Amino acid sequence: MLFLVFTLLLNPLLRRFKQTTLPPVSVILIDNSASVALGTSSDSLKFIQAQLRDLSGKLEQAGSTVYFAGLEGALEKDSTVQFNLGSTSIEAALRNIQEQFENQNLAQIILASDGIVNKGSDLSLSTFPFRLNTIKLGNPVAKKDLLISEVRINKVAFLGNSFPVSVLIKGKKIGAIPLKVNLFESDKLLETKNLVLGPNGLANVDFSIKPTSKGMKQLKVVVEPVAGEVTNENNSRTFFIDVIDGKQKVLLLAAAPHPDIKAIRSALSSIEQIELTTCVGGLDTYKPQPWNLVILHQLPERGGIFGAQVSGFLRGNTSLFLITGLQTDFSKLKNEVSPWLNVQGFGNGFDELNGAWADDFQRFIFEDKWKKTFTDLPPVKSPSLSYSWKSSRGKATNQ
């Protein structure tokens, strides 16, 4: 009786918890590139696929949900895999699977591959939040082969300006023999480079092209085959460059003098295809023009400098690059951008943030050895805010 009285007097808060257990997910990732078929007989490929289906059944009996995938997406469990892809980017396939099963219990990925990667990272520096098991496919004995591993280019070039094309050549059992690499525009030979592979079987060759007409250009780089190669299918790579005419008008609008202004001007003024105009509060008078890009440095600010112009840019359709700081009026910024950008926080404090390279951003060419420096650099201070896109805004993109 006393227990019942105390229970009624204390009136405890009763909570009900519901626990949901997600079954483990296993993904069998099959490297369905052409190199696997070259090193494996057709009977062996059929046997391997049968064994992988048998493995799938055993995993399902153990309580796992099993999915099959190739390098470019999902595969049907009982379908015959076609090993015909011209490139092998294993890291991209693993990242896609990770994203696809983000809200599920992805326990492991079983990768069946010959290990020949000719696009993207070789996984030596990659980490994943799931277990990665591997099954070796193909003939383990290396055969003589030359291949174009990577072509690094800018997707857009400007008429009359030279642009670089960087090509990475890989070779197996080739040795230090002279090689030729040719660059074609359609069927026209533009340039030939001679090279010798290094001790690691790699060589980088750089071309410089100066387009004489605008439009979409089809280019092809070819490393001439040597006797005894197992295949010549990977000795060439075709790519496209969009050559455009005209400079891009960029406005750098700043609340006040700042070291950032000089750094931005130094970076952009040397680029021939960019026409940069700088307008600093208290020093310059704004003159309207049709702009391709507007860089707002610490604007809008509390004193209302360039108030009408800034408001027009934030509410208009011109592409913007926003740089905030101590002078930024975050309340006004949140109000002006509210139709297309959700800003959370008040910018009163600062967080220390580190940088990271986004592999899907292709506008700049960056060597892999430099990408890692983003994680090694000291953190920078950033206003304590978070951003999320509400909708597309004319030319604005989430980059």
Specify whether 182 is located in the same domain as 213.
yes
Specify whether 46 is located in the same domain as 127.
yes
> Given 216, 244, 272, which residue is the final one in a domain?
244
Inside any domain, residue 18 = no
Q: How many domains does the chain have?
A: 3
User: What pLDDT score was predicted for residue 184?
Assistant: 94
Three state DSSP letters for the chain: CHHHHHHHHHCCCCCCCCCCCCCCEEEEEECCEHHHHHCCCHHHHHHHHHHHHHHHHHHHHCCCEEEEEECCEEECCCCCCCCCECCCCHHHHHHHHHHHCCCCCEEEEEEEECCCCCCCCCCCCCCCCCEEEEEECCCCCCCCEEEEEEEECCCEEECCCCEEEEEEEEEECCCCCCEEEEEEECCEEEEEEEECCCCCCEEEEEEEECCCCCEEEEEEEEECCCCCCCCCCCCEEEEEEEEECCCEEEEEEECCCCHHHHHHHHHHHCCCCEEEEEEECCCCCCCCCCCCEEEEECCCECCCCCHHHHHHHHHCCCEEEEECCCCECHHHHHHHHCCCEEEECCCCCEEEECCCCCCCCCCCCCCHHHHCHHHHCCCEEEECCEEEECCCECCECCC
User: What pLDDT score was predicted for residue 140?
Assistant: 59
Specify whether 214 is located in the same domain as 300.
no
Query: Domain span at residue 337?
Result: 248-389
Please compute, for residue 312, the number of CA atoms within 13 A of its CA located in the half-sphere on the CB side: 10
pLDDT > 70: what percent of the chain? 87
Specify whether 237 is located in the same domain as 253.
no
Instruction: State the pLDDT confidence band at 361, using cuts at 50, 70 and 90.
Output: low
Q: Which residue has the tokens 């890009």?
A: 293
Choose between 203 and 3: higher pLDDT.
203
Specify whether 255 is located in the same domain as 383.
yes
The residue-averaged pLDDT of 212-231 equals 88
Instruction: State the pLDDT confidence band at 309, using cuts at 50, 70 and 90.
Output: very high
Would you say residue 347 has pLDDT above 70? no
Inside any domain, residue 45 = yes
Instruction: State the pLDDT confidence band at 399, using cuts at 50, 70 and 90.
Output: very low
Distances (CA, A) of 310 to 160, 250, 276, 398: 34, 15, 18, 20
Which of 16-25, 46-55, 253-262, 348-357 is the least confident region? 16-25
Would you say residue 1 has pLDDT above 70? no
User: What pLDDT score was predicted for residue 191?
Assistant: 92
Would you say residue 71 has pLDDT above 80? yes
Beta pairing, strands 73-75 & 106-113: unpaired
Specify whether 83 is located in the same domain as 172.
no
Decide: pTM greater than 0.75: no
In the predicted model, what is the mean pLDDT of the chain? 82
Would you say residue 22 has pLDDT above 90? no
Would you say residue 226 has pLDDT above 90? no
- Which pLDDT tens digit goes with each residue over 118-171? 676 667 667 788 888 988 887 656 678 888 888 898 888 888 778 899 999 888
Would you say residue 397 has pLDDT above 50? no
Specify whether 207 is located in the same domain as 158.
yes
Widest pairwise Cα distance in the chain: 99
> Given 115, 136, 157, which residue is the final one in a domain?
136
C-alpha closest to that of 305 among 256, 373, 341, 376? 256
